[in-house]
Structure 1
């Protein structure tokens, strides 16, 4: 891919990360588990896992945003560093959103074909948590589709360089 295309994608991803971080941080700064009115200790524990995942996603996204900013201000533009960063964003942010390591929620892949939101929870959660993930999902899906190329391309390059 040409430098200008990679640079454009990096700028798009930077905007996406900025927006996503803002939405997640606003939610985390304004919402407490006590406000969610959980009914029992099991639901409370489950919500703690969800909040921990959201914090982790915000941290990963902030780290990647900083990397994007550094690459974009450097001259000349470092295409290899940008591609590596886009690959990292795909794995640390996008995949973590759709499939968190501790299974706080999961992606119902069949939902993609029906046009409905694909994020599902294994237990009942408050409507504010559901709305948060619904609000984020569209942009995460769009960026996932744009960055899937780097998933296969970067791995191919790493295998060929060995």
Structure 2
């Protein structure tokens, strides 16, 4: 029974990461610092950090997607590998989305309860970036709700098995 829950979580995360990777790569393949400056005048270094955050998130999501794809297509299903992967997706992809390395945006947790977007920007951000983050947010919220269990339980299991 537990295998089916973990397998369905892997499949859900695989689907959501595929969508996220597609959106991130589509954006990153077409935007430049010059494009962002046309949208809104700001310091070039801020835009560099913003794009760096997005590239980092895209890399983590691609790695997570690839790992989920391999695990979901492998027979027999390897529950332990799936749990490790879900733990890594939670800590790399989801945490990176809500708490990016360069701290250019943050999650206003009160907004999440109102049904509005919970991502707030420390400084004004171009509309294209806001649209991208907004389009990704619901998938990351859903994955976080599904995988929050792995935040602590997986580590506890690994310590107990040693």
The TM-score bracket by the shorter chain reads over 0.9
CA distance in structure 2 between the partners assigned to 1:49 and 1:88 by the alignment: 24
Measure, in 2, the Cα distance between the counterparts of 1:101 and 1:50.
Answer: 10
- State whether residues 104 and 123 of structure 2, in contact with CA within 8 Å, keep that contact through their aligned partners in structure 1: no
Q: Secondary structure of the equivalent of 1:110?
A: helix
1:11 counterpart residue number: 11
Q: CA RMSD in A?
A: 1.3
Take 1:33 and 1:116, find their aligned partners in 2: how far apart are those partners?
A: 28
**Which residues of structure 1 form unaligned runs of 5+?**
none
8 Å CA contact retained: 2:108, 2:119 = yes
2:70 matched residue in structure 1: 70
Q: What is the aligned partner in structure 2 of residue 133 from structure 1?
A: 133
Could you tell me which runs of 5 or more consecutive residues in structure 2 were left unpaired when the two chains were aligned: none
In the TM superposition, residue 159 of structure 1 has moved relative to its aligned partner by 2.5
Given that 2:84 and 2:154 are in contact with CA atoms closer than 8 Å, whether structure 1 keeps it comes out as yes
Secondary structure at the counterpart of residue 18 of structure 1: helix
**Counterparts of 1:131 and 1:107, CA distance in 2:** 16
Instruction: State the aligned residue count.
Output: 160
Q: What TM-score does the superposition give when structure 1 sets the normalisation length?
A: 0.93
| Deviation for aligned residue 1:158 | 2.0
After superposing the two structures, state which structure 1 stretch, 105-114 or 81-90, moved more: 105-114
User: What is the CA–CA distance in structure 1 between the aligned matches of 2:110 and 2:65, rounded to whole Å?
Assistant: 31
Moved more, 149-158 or 124-133: 149-158
TM-score by length of 2: 0.93
Q: Deviations over 1:58-106 (max 9, x none)?
A: 1111111111121122221100000010000000000000001220211
